[in-house]
Chain A
């Protein structure tokens, strides 16, 4: 039974929304090929590619060898031949064997060729913790890729957006690292499957997930839900939080961010990755440069601790939760 069939009409899980987005992209463009470990008969370990092999055949939904560098390296070759490969890396912590192919080859070939080559490869990576997994299955490694010019790095957070973003990523002529928050795969929300509507935000735009006036909370991927929950609680305490879902981690949409800061004057950045050299550090620095005179307090960061991701039974103390976000919001009033 396919994932889509398990949910009520009009309401899809984030995983099913991605599945429908992949289906749409494959139907729209014959050059789209999916490549990854166990994505065919099994439909991927998270079933995101469920049913696609039956629909499009094993030449377009390819079970790769168990070799991550090979997945990305051959995808580069396929792209040079005119295909649009969509790679699935089974878990975030398994992407490191492909690191050279991503940061030294995939990211650089366009610039190296003087703009002559296009390498439209999408690399899907289930990311983050919160599912009680073993080691190497709960990592947030986006900063490594954001630090490399030549890559676009995005993270989806909600079913409808995931459905559009995966299509936008595949249609993009640049390489895209596409993060999927694995603990949100089962979150449901209304989705209208189909092509990306004209009024959907572009792939490099942030989205105001909840409007507010007092504090800007910037989050992405799995942390967006946490920020929204914090906003609900804060409202009952009389504070209005504006939650921004970044969507694009590289490039960053500072237009949307600074417009929000202009309203609120207070900023909290939330992500699961360690704060040290994490995306929050970049955002805090840029906002300080751009909006110094507007800020009522230093930009606060809430993230994972600067340790390896801990064993599953302790991850609730590692992952930023609602209380830590609210504490940081309080912190912005201490100045």
Chain B
């Protein structure tokens, strides 16, 4: 019989010690070894910085709109801008993306309009955008369901490749550390590994699943677990946009070339609560938040831009104006979002409205019109 005291206590005891996260940008904004090889340029850095600044502005506006009663709920992505911008900017517009529900920065990079991102939280739709047009699937609120959708979609891409060798799209799938505990996540990681689906799983480990810390969710680091499924796994500093971009670009290139699916664990931090209904002060201390604020992904890049002289005053002024314009557009678009007629729901339940649905819609319409 196994003596429970002999059970390994740490990942190292299990022989699955975590890798140190890949980094290209120091916490003071200095470029680290490997940055030159990773093709880091002033132009790339300025572009990533711009996307992060705009995402933060949008996120702040949405948060404020919730506090003003304009949105029912908001799930802030503050602190995760580098993980999202760095990864989405490393894949092509033709690649299909499956988000979780906090990927606002990634969504903005895909070209989604602020109003489209706010509909779900204002309560005017359960989706809000054309997932096929943007190649950006609807948000998934049930944890980890989208990992299976992404896997299936990638299997479809692989099937297309067999018929048309020119097809070289890949799939990028976001999820969080909490979602990794779900059965669907584990089915998907295994399924993708076994079938060799052209897919990059991107886990934003933001340290907290509402109030449950990562350490209480998993005995092994997530990238180590993914490697156990047979996935090529990378761990990256998720607050280092340059490293995230480089790691994702490399993984995407390998997958695009026909390599097996990849798994990236980005170590980052959710600066706000899980949602605007959450009170993170009940479960985490101010000192922890302060330590992560020092590693803020936006200011880190700003330090690099300033130190290298890669962005002058003109750039920052123009960016500030762009952020202000986005802010005004976001607030106006939010207030303009009106509820759609309930009739639409009857029409969209099935591809063609059945007699039963039509009868219910007509009953509802007659009832409503009886008050006119």
A-binding residues in B (CB < 8 A): 125-127, 130-132, 137-138, 140, 142, 145, 147-157, 159-160, 162, 183-184, 187-188, 190-191, 194, 344-345, 347-351, 354-357
Known: A81-B160, A114-B344, A251-B355. A65 touches B148 (CB 8 A): no
Whether B125 contacts A114 by the Cβ 8 Å rule is: yes
Whether A101 contacts B126 by the Cβ 8 Å rule is: no
Whether A77 contacts B154 by the Cβ 8 Å rule is: yes
Known: A65-B187, A73-B188, A110-B348. A81 touches B142 (CB 8 A): no
CA distance A100 to B141 in the complex (A): 12
Whether A204 contacts B148 by the Cβ 8 Å rule is: no
- A104: shortest Cβ distance to chain B, in Å? 6
Whether A74 contacts B148 by the Cβ 8 Å rule is: yes
CA distance A152 to B349 in the complex (A): 11
A-B pairs, 3 with minimum CB distance: A77-B152, A73-B148, A81-B156
CA distance A110 to B345 in the complex (A): 10
- B248: shortest Cβ distance to chain A, in Å? 21
Q: Which of A21-29, A37-45, A115-123, A272-280 contacts B (4 or more CB under 8 A)?
A: A115-123
Q: Which B residues lie within 8 Å of A81 (CB)?
A: 152-153, 155-157, 159-160
- A85: shortest Cβ distance to chain B, in Å? 8
Q: Which A residues lie within 8 Å of B156 (CB)?
A: 77-78, 80-83
Known: A105-B145, A115-B348. A70 touches B126 (CB 8 A): no
Whether A111 contacts B126 by the Cβ 8 Å rule is: yes
CA distance A106 to B216 in the complex (A): 32
Pick from B140, B142, B155, B349: contact of A78, CB below 8 A.
B155
Q: Which A residues from 52 to 82 make CB contacts under 8 A with B? A: 59, 65, 67, 69-70, 72-82
A interface residues, tally (CB under 8 Å): 46
- A38: shortest Cβ distance to chain B, in Å? 16
Q: Which B residues lie within 8 Å of A73 (CB)?
A: 145, 147-149, 151-152, 184, 187-188
Whether A113 contacts B152 by the Cβ 8 Å rule is: no
Whether B349 contacts A150 by the Cβ 8 Å rule is: yes
Whether A76 contacts B349 by the Cβ 8 Å rule is: no
A7 contacts the other chain (Cβ, under 8 Å)? no
Q: Which A residues lie within 8 Å of B153 (CB)?
A: 77-78, 80-81
10 pairs, A vs B, C-beta closer than 8 Å: A69-B148, A70-B187, A74-B149, A77-B152, A77-B154, A80-B132, A81-B159, A105-B149, A116-B127, A251-B355
Find the residue from B142, B156, B191, B345 having the highest chain A CB count within 10 A.
B156
Q: Which A residues lie within 8 Å of B184 (CB)?
A: 69-70, 73, 100-101
Q: Which B residues lie within 8 Å of A72 (CB)?
A: 148
Whether B130 contacts A174 by the Cβ 8 Å rule is: no
Q: Which B residues lie within 8 Å of A105 (CB)?
A: 140, 142, 145, 149
Whether B355 contacts A104 by the Cβ 8 Å rule is: no
Pick from A101, A110, A117: contact of B145, CB below 8 A.
A101
- A237: shortest Cβ distance to chain B, in Å? 36
Whether A204 contacts B354 by the Cβ 8 Å rule is: yes
A47 contacts the other chain (Cβ, under 8 Å)? no
A239 contacts the other chain (Cβ, under 8 Å)? no
Question: Other CB < 8 Å A-B pairs besides A59-B159, A74-B151, 17 of them?
Answer: A67-B190, A67-B191, A70-B148, A73-B147, A74-B149, A74-B188, A76-B149, A77-B148, A77-B150, A78-B159, A80-B156, A85-B152, A111-B126, A113-B130, A113-B138, A114-B125, A152-B350
CA distance A149 to B288 in the complex (A): 45
Q: Which A residue's beta carbon lies closest to that of B151?
A: A74
Q: Which A residues lie within 8 Å of B160 (CB)?
A: 81
Q: Which A residues lie within 8 Å of B345 (CB)?
A: 111
- B272: shortest Cβ distance to chain A, in Å? 25
- B183: shortest Cβ distance to chain A, in Å? 6
Q: Which A residues lie within 8 Å of B183 (CB)?
A: 69, 97
Q: Which B residues lie within 8 Å of A150 (CB)?
A: 349-350
A324 contacts the other chain (Cβ, under 8 Å)? no
- B137: shortest Cβ distance to chain A, in Å? 7
Q: Which B residue's beta carbon lies closest to that of A82?
A: B156
CA distance A80 to B150 in the complex (A): 10
Q: Which A residues lie within 8 Å of B348 (CB)?
A: 110-111, 113-115
Q: Which A residues from 100 to 148 make CB contacts under 8 A with B? A: 100-101, 104-105, 108-118
- B246: shortest Cβ distance to chain A, in Å? 28
Whether A112 contacts B138 by the Cβ 8 Å rule is: yes
CA distance A222 to B155 in the complex (A): 36
Q: Which A residue's beta carbon lies closest to that of B359?
A: A254
Whether B148 contacts A117 by the Cβ 8 Å rule is: no
Known: A70-B187, A251-B354. A80 touches B142 (CB 8 A): no
Q: Which B residues lie within 8 Å of A69 (CB)?
A: 148, 183-184, 187
Q: Which A residue's beta carbon lies closest to that of B351?
A: A173
A252 contacts the other chain (Cβ, under 8 Å)? yes
Whether B152 contacts A76 by the Cβ 8 Å rule is: yes
Q: Which A residue's beta carbon lies closest to that of B128?
A: A114
CA distance A91 to B320 in the complex (A): 60
CA distance A179 to B296 in the complex (A): 54
